Amino acid sequence: MAEPESTRVDFQVDPANYRHWEVATDDSVANLQMVVDPSGGLRNYYELKMNSYDLAVDIELYDIVQRLRFEHPSIKAVVLTGGIDKIFCAGANIQMLATSTHQHKVNFCKFTNETRNSIEDASANSGQTWLAAINGTAAGGGYELALACDEILLIDDRSSAVSLPEIPLLAVLPGTGGLTRLVDKRHVRRDLADAFATRTEGVRGKQALSWGLVDAIAPGRDFDALVSQRAAHHVAQSDRPNSASPIVFEPLNRTFEADSVEYGNVSVTLDRHLGTAEITVRAPTTSQPLTAIEFETLGSKSWLIETARELDDAFLHLRFNETDIGTWIIRTRGDAASVLAAERVLAPDNDSWLARESRLYWARTLTRLDLSARSIIALVDPGSCFSGMLAELLLAADRSYMLDGTWEGSDALAPEIVLSDANLGWFKMSNGLSRLESRFWGRDAALAKVGDLAGTPLKSAEALDGELITFAMDDIDWDDEIRVMLEERNSFSPDALTGMEANFRFVGPETMETKIFARLSAWQNWIFQRPNAVGPTGALKRFGTGSRPDYDHTRV
């Protein structure tokens, strides 16, 4: 059931109203201090003590990550530090975890993982390197936040330590990629990782450095100089512009109704009986930028940026506020040629920081769709514009249906699909492959065949022959077949569907990102339901009470 308006989670933030973060920028370096307001949590039945965080804190962090990339093009290094004496970050708030529903814990961890991935994406692909300057205790999710940074610096003051104490204290796993990043990213030896992840007091100074948990240490008197030196090093390596116009993210134009959300280029309509959300993306209707200068001039009002922001917000809204809506139906409307024209400015050979940043934003937004625990169905009918980058929505679907011809008695043209260079590698999935490469994994001839079709409008028979759609149907069968399919989907176990869909979506190579979502998160979501963690005598329930948890020691 949808949450009442008073409890709806909103992912739009005004920087003037940040409660948990302080951002200061100079010409090329941003300093981001975590100063969590204890009374500023999403709910009022816990306090965010010791720089612990909940979803409200992370929503602000995600907003900051986005704005630093778009609104501050000359920022080349971001220094993340704690703003409370002797504390960097205490991780996710334990009372929040103990009192939250299972679905909220799962959604919370997924969102925080995606935010950390966006930090890594900035360091790896945007020339905006993140450094963690740990100036106090970094426990659990606090150290996981540091792990998302490209470099970790630790003050050596005999008290500051890094730790992942979730297993011994809470009977859960570090929920934001910590275990995976420890061994896959930092290459910590597995036996040392085992010792570290079961040591409540953590590791300090020289030992943290020798184990590979941090990149450098310095005593208090030298710490600021070390941080400045390392930030300057990364500034010198960056290819971001020294001066460019900021792309300011104005508030989205949104209208929420009981069963719909309306944006400028995106509409969401709910059918609560069928458990579906129909997400319609509209093609641009006005002339769009053709050059980098025009793109920077139009900025966040461009169809490319505005639509990415709207889709991002819609996906998050549906995840957190419409948890009973299990099937997302993807539609498009408008002129296919206008989509193909608009996307040209994003081409990788366009030497523009904004083109790169926007292309990466679309990649992250599409990945958020891939990672959503919902059935995704694409419907291609007259008026559709699944062309170029919008064809990625079709390729992300678990199933796709295309009308063969047009409606009886209608003069509407039969729908077409048009692939472009955008589908040949601009938007990588979590597995490092394009959606076409994932679709045709292990079938090089089929992949080559469909690659040759780029630029050719494909009607249903050609799309079916190219294996780009699941089914093609005429107008006689369309309504009944779609209705039966949706009713059938709604009758299945959502748990089983989530597991099935996740297994089918990510074929081929395993990456750090797929490990975090498919292995670490899957185990964590199971552990979150086990009595040893959340039962009446479990560790989460008894933490802070003075009573030890009572574990069932049976291995499963």
Summarize pLDDT for 102-144 with one digit per residue, the tens: 999 999 999 999 999 999 999 999 999 999 999 999 999 999 9
The alpha carbons of the chain give a radius of gyration, in whole angstroms, of: 24
Please work out, in degrees rounded to the nearest 5, the angle formed at the alpha carbon of residue 345 by the alpha carbons of 438 and 254: 80
Which of 94, 107, 9, 109 is closest to 47 using CA atoms?
94
Does 323 lie in the same domain as 188? no
- Residue at which a domain ends, from 505, 521, 536: 505
- Given 505, 521, 546, the domain boundary residue is 505
Q: Are residues 83 and 230 in the same domain?
A: yes
Instruction: Identify the pLDDT of residue 494.
Output: 95
3-state secondary structure of 330: strand
Q: How many helices (H) and strands (E) does the chain have?
A: 23, 20
Instruction: State phi, psi for 347 to the nearest 5 degrees.
Output: -55, 140
Secondary structure of residue 211 in the 3-state scheme: coil
Same domain, 171 and 302: no
The answer to whether residue 513 is domain-embedded is: no
Please tell me the total count of domains within the chain: 2
Task: Give the 3-state secondary structure of residue 342.
Answer: helix
> Would 520 be classed as within a structural domain?
no
Q: Are residues 350 and 219 in the same domain?
A: no
For residues 113 and 196, membership in a common domain is answered with yes
CB atoms within 10 A of CB 216: 16
pLDDT tens-digit map of 11-50:
999 999 999 999 999 999 999 999 999 999 999 999 999 9
Q: Which two tokens stand for residue 280?
A: 């319609």
Beta bridge partners, 133, equal 81, 153
Give CA–CA dist 524/522, Å, rounded.
Answer: 5
User: Considering the entire predicted model, what is its pTM?
Assistant: 0.96
- The whole-angstrom separation of Cα 466 and Cα 457 is 12
How many Cβ atoms are within 10 Å of 80's Cβ, its own excluded? Answer: 25
Q: Is the pLDDT of residue 6 over 80?
A: no
Q: 325 is written with which tokens?
A: 């809506």
Asked whether residue 516 is domain-assigned, the answer is no
* Single residue among 210, 237, 264 that ends a domain in this structure: 237
| 411 plus 449 within the same structural domain | yes
Asked whether residue 133 is assigned to any structural domain, the reply reads yes
**Contact (CB, 8 A) for 66 and 252:** no
Could you tell me if residue 429 is inside a domain? yes
**Secondary structure string (H, E, C) spanning 70-139:** HCCCCCCEEEEEECECCEEECEECHHHHHHCCHHHHHHHHHHHHHHHHHHHHHHHHCCCEEEEEECCEEE
The C-alpha atoms of residue 546 and residue 549 are separated, in whole angstroms, by 10
Could you tell me if 275 and 358 lie in one domain?
yes
Q: What is the pLDDT of residues 166-208, one digit of tens each?
A: 999 999 999 899 999 999 999 999 999 999 999 999 999 999 9
Both 22 and 120 in one domain: the answer is yes
Residue 153, H or E segment: strand 151-155
Residue 543 counted as domain residue: no
23, 156: one domain: yes
481-526 tens-digit pLDDT: 999 999 999 999 999 999 999 999 999 999 999 999 988 888 888 8
Is 526 within the bounds of a domain? no
Q: What is the CATH number of the domain that holds 68?
A: 3.90.226.10
Query: Which residues form the domain of 433?
Result: 255-505
Cα–Cα distance measured from residue 89 to residue 135, given in angstroms and rounded to the nearest whole number? 10
Q: What is the mean pLDDT of residues 90-96?
A: 95
Nearest to 414 by CA among 469, 466, 471, 475: 475
Does residue 4 surpass a pLDDT of 60?
no
pLDDT score, position 528: 87
> Is 329 found in the same domain as 232?
no
Say if residue 144 is in the same domain as residue 274: no
Assigned domain for 139 exists: yes
Whether residue 168 sits in one domain with residue 119: yes
